[in-house]
Structures are given as structure tokens and as C-alpha cells.
Amino acid sequence: MPFGQAVLTIDLGAIVANWRALRERHGGPVAAVLKADAYGLGAGRVGQALAAAGCDAFFVAQRAEGLALRAAVGSAPLIAVLDGFAPGADGLAALIPVLNRLEDCAAHAGRPAILHLDTGMARLGLSPAEQDRLAADATMRAGLRLTYVMTHLACADTPDHPLNGLQAARFDAAAARLAPGVPRSLANSSGIFLGAAFRSDLARPGAALFGLNPTPGAANPMRPVVRLRAPILQVRDLPAGGTVGYGADWTAPRASRIATVAAGYADGYLRAAAGRATATLAGRTVALVGRVSMDLLTFDVTDTAAQPGDWMELIGPDHPPDTLAAAAGTIGYEVLVRLGSRYRRDYTPA
């Protein structure tokens, strides 16, 4: 019996190509959002590849992510922390806080920072009431040293949603009132595809860099980045009426061959994908059958020449993360960030 570890291949060249394509499409500067370890793909490696290609601004969610990324990319690029951080701790001079509340504006007075205005997300950023208070407080405004003023779109992946235009208009007005002359940052991945009204001085894509489709419902304009292959450990014959896996959930409708593959929900292969997901074996599409186990998957390979040791492609150009996500009732973002630590990770150089 072959033993094997699944292999996750991350194409740094495709990430760089996607960043360049987004810059072209945006018609202006483009940062890279590398929160959650670059959506699970490795912020250090991804950051180094993008910095070498000329990306000079990065966003992370948390302070510790920012410090780790700083160590990887060197001192030149801007690294902003979306959740903000308290002033004063060691090493924080290397990072730019995003100011999400009036208290943050006071705490970081005199230091470079990014002002986040909430225009309809109701998540982070100064609320409309706080924006009014900042407008009325000339002293606090004078203390701000803003690198950018930003907002975040709630519905960018739904191009005809009325909130998109409303947020762009609110941002225009609020930025002119509170931060006149300060460079602006607006679009995420999908926002870049909404047109000229969503252009700004710094777009902030994450997902599209990693090959997820920023234009759901239309063809994916991005290059695939992630390929996940796992070895077949065993192939067995099953008579018609035989069942597979926990709960005996799947019953063979005919005499079948079943391939057992070395990956499972502990590796982020979502359990909810059972009964719907497919994979690629030697160019053919095969169906996942039975439940997803912690470490094992079972596929119906009846009409193939599958052998132990063959490689099953679980994610790749034919089975993008968005498709696996749809099978599990979630989005590609969640598939990427859950890719576990058990895979061998191969990085294709940029």
C-alpha cells in the first residue's frame, strides 16, 4: 500500500500575475490584503513575492500578523493593521494603525495612520455619528496624520446592489469633509470590477489575488493559484448494494470501485461537501461518495483505471476553491483559510 501526504501547490507567479491584472483593471495603485496568513496561503512567502514585484502596501487584520509580515518583507512597504492597535508597544512603529473609532484618533494623534469611515458596513470604522463629532472637533482633526482615508464595500460582489453607489457617494462626501486632500482607499477585489466610480488611490484586494472569482456569476478573470492533490491509498471493489463510510450514507447502485484518498475535514476539506463534490483523476471527473472523514475521502472510480498511488486532484483549475465551496454551501474564502497544516506545501516561484 502506498503511503502518502497530500500536496498543496501555491503558485506565487499566478498571485503576482493576478496582482498585476488587478492593477491594470483598477487603473491605479493596488495594495495586497494578506490577513489570516494571506487567506491561508502563507503571508511571508506571498508578501515577499508581491513586494519583489513592486507591491508597496499591505493590509493585515491583526498586529501580530503585521509584525510577522514586516519581518518577511523588510522595512520599505507600508503595512496597515485593519483592526488597529493600542499605541506604545514594542515594534509597532513599523506598522500603520487603521483608526476605527474616535478614541483611536486621539490615541494615535501625531502618528501616521489610516482613517476608516463606515459608509454602510456597520462593522468597523467611524460611524456616521462619530464622523459628525470628528467634523466638529478641529483639534482632533488637526492631530491626524493620515496616510489614507478608507471605507469598505458591503455588496461589491453584487454589482447592481444599490448600496454600492450609495457607499461610494457617502465616502466621497465624508472624505471631503473630514480628510480633504488625503489619498483614498475604496475597492476590495470585487469593487475593482465595479467601474470608474469605485477607483481610488489604493485598492485593497485579497481574494482575487488568490484566484477566487471577484465577479460571481461571470467567468473568473483571475489565474488559478491553488492546486491540492492527494494520493489514493487503496482501491476496492464493492458489490451493488454495498455501502461506504460512516453512517453507511452511500449505497453502490451497481458493482463499483471505490478509491480512498488521504485527506479529510482535518485538512479543511469541508464535511458539508459530502454528496456534492467532485475531483479530477487523470483528467476525468469523479464523484465524492460517502461522508467526509477526518483524514480520508472516498470517490467512485468505477469507470476509471484508478490505482493505489495515483493522484486525485481535489482543488485545481478543473475544481476551483469556489466550486468546492459551493458544494459545501460556503464561499471560496472559507475553503482557502481552512486549508490545514498537514499538507506538504510547494511554492511555485514567481
Ligand X SMILES: *Cc1c(COP(=O)(O)O)cnc(C)c1O
- Interface residues with ligand X (CB under 6 A) are 33, 35, 82, 152, 188-189, 204-208
Instruction: Tell how strand 344-348 and strand 7-11 pair up.
Output: parallel
**Degrees (nearest 5) of the Cα angle 112, 28, 214?**
100
Q: Which of 35, 148, 269, 333 is catalytic?
A: 35
Nearest to ligand X of 132, 334 (CB atom)? 334
Q: Say if residues 184 and 170 touch (Cβ distance below 8 Å).
A: no
List, in sequence order, every residue forming a beta bridge with 149; answer none if it has no partner. 115, 184
Q: Which of 124, 120, 330 is nearest to 212 (CA)?
A: 330
Residue 241's Cβ-count burial label (10 Å; 0-12, 13-18, 19+) is: exposed
**Residue number with the shortest CB distance to ligand X?**
206
Active site residue 265: no
State the cell numbers at 113: 495612520
Active site residue 333: no
Nearest to ligand X of 18, 188 (CB atom)? 188
Other CB atoms within 10 A of residue 3 CB: 8
Residue 33 CB, shortest distance to ligand X, in Å, is 4
Nearest to ligand X of 144, 222 (CB atom)? 222
d(CA 282, CA 213): 25
Residue 151 CB, shortest distance to ligand X, in Å, is 8
d(CA 114, CA 98): 5
Q: Is 217 left (phi over 0), alpha (psi -120 to 50) or beta?
A: left
In a 3-state reduction of DSSP, which class is residue 35? helix
Residue 58 CB, shortest distance to ligand X, in Å, is 11
Q: Say if residues 222 and 343 touch (Cβ distance below 8 Å).
A: no
d(CA 69, CA 233): 38
Nearest to ligand X of 152, 319 (CB atom)? 152
Residue 325 CB, shortest distance to ligand X, in Å, is 14
Residue 188 CB, shortest distance to ligand X, in Å, is 3
In a 3-state reduction of DSSP, which class is residue 221? coil
Residue 212 CB, shortest distance to ligand X, in Å, is 7
Nearest to ligand X of 200, 280 (CB atom)? 200
Nearest to ligand X of 23, 204 (CB atom)? 204
Q: Which residues are marked as active site?
A: 35, 246
